[in-house]
Amino acid sequence: MHTETEIKLWAPDLPALAERLKALGASLHQPRTAERNLRYDRPDGSLRARGEVLRLRQDRQAYLTFKAPHAAAPYTRTELEIAVSDFETADRLLAALGFEVVWRYEKFRTTYALAGCEIVLDELPFGTFIEVEGDSLAAVEAVIARLGMSDAPRFALSYSQLFERLRERLQLPFRDLTFENFRALPQTDISQVLLSEAQHK
């Protein structure tokens, strides 16, 4: 069993953050990489109802991930992940077990390590974010402070939950979070919705 403590922050200037990470001596673990992700559920929606996540991700490798519901602390949850040898075969295996794809989403991710934490710079169709993950909330907050982002808007919601807020508020007609779907949408409207869902330390 593995528990992740992770904080997601609004990061409108990722190039400046990358320069800050380099200045702090962070090591680059994975250069900017395109991801495709498939989210699964049972036909009755029971995984979502329990706050559970079953995901298949493809970047430079394929991974199958399960996330349990959030614990009492808003930024902590149990996560189990394994590498799989073939994305398409894993997708067919999950379908054979009765799971169905309920959501597709894309992003670009760059991964760094600093002071025992993993820092990812995420580019999603609706905005750019930084996630800091570590063994404890204190370690995560310390890295956020070193990055000068203690006062940045942060999100307890997942990317899927943020997307659902956008779909509701902007009455978006599509289901999947792809760059093509968001290409023509006004960024100002998107930012206003996202920041209304943000928290501060």
Whether 201 maps to a domain, the answer reads no
Cβ–Cβ under 8 Å, residues 187 and 143: no
pLDDT at res. 199 = 82
CB atoms within 10 A of CB 130: 24
For 116: left if phi > 0, alpha if psi spans -120 to 50, otherwise beta; the answer is left
Distance CA 14, CA 18 (A): 6
If the chain, 201 residues long, is cut into consecutive pieces of 10 residues, what is the mean pLDDT of each piece?
82 96 97 96 95 94 92 74 96 97 96 97 97 93 97 92 94 95 92 89 62
**C-alpha distances in angstroms, 76 versus 69, 71, 131, 185?**
9, 6, 13, 32
In this prediction, residue 72 carries a pLDDT of: 60
| Cβ 167 vs Cβ 181: under 8 Å | no
What's the pLDDT at 33?
A: 96
Write the CATH number for 175. Answer: 2.40.320.10
For residue 39, is it within any domain? yes
Q: In the prediction, which pLDDT does 76 show?
A: 75
User: Is 72 domain-assigned?
Assistant: yes
- Count of domains observed in the chain: 1
133: domain range? Answer: 3-196
pTM confidence score: 0.85
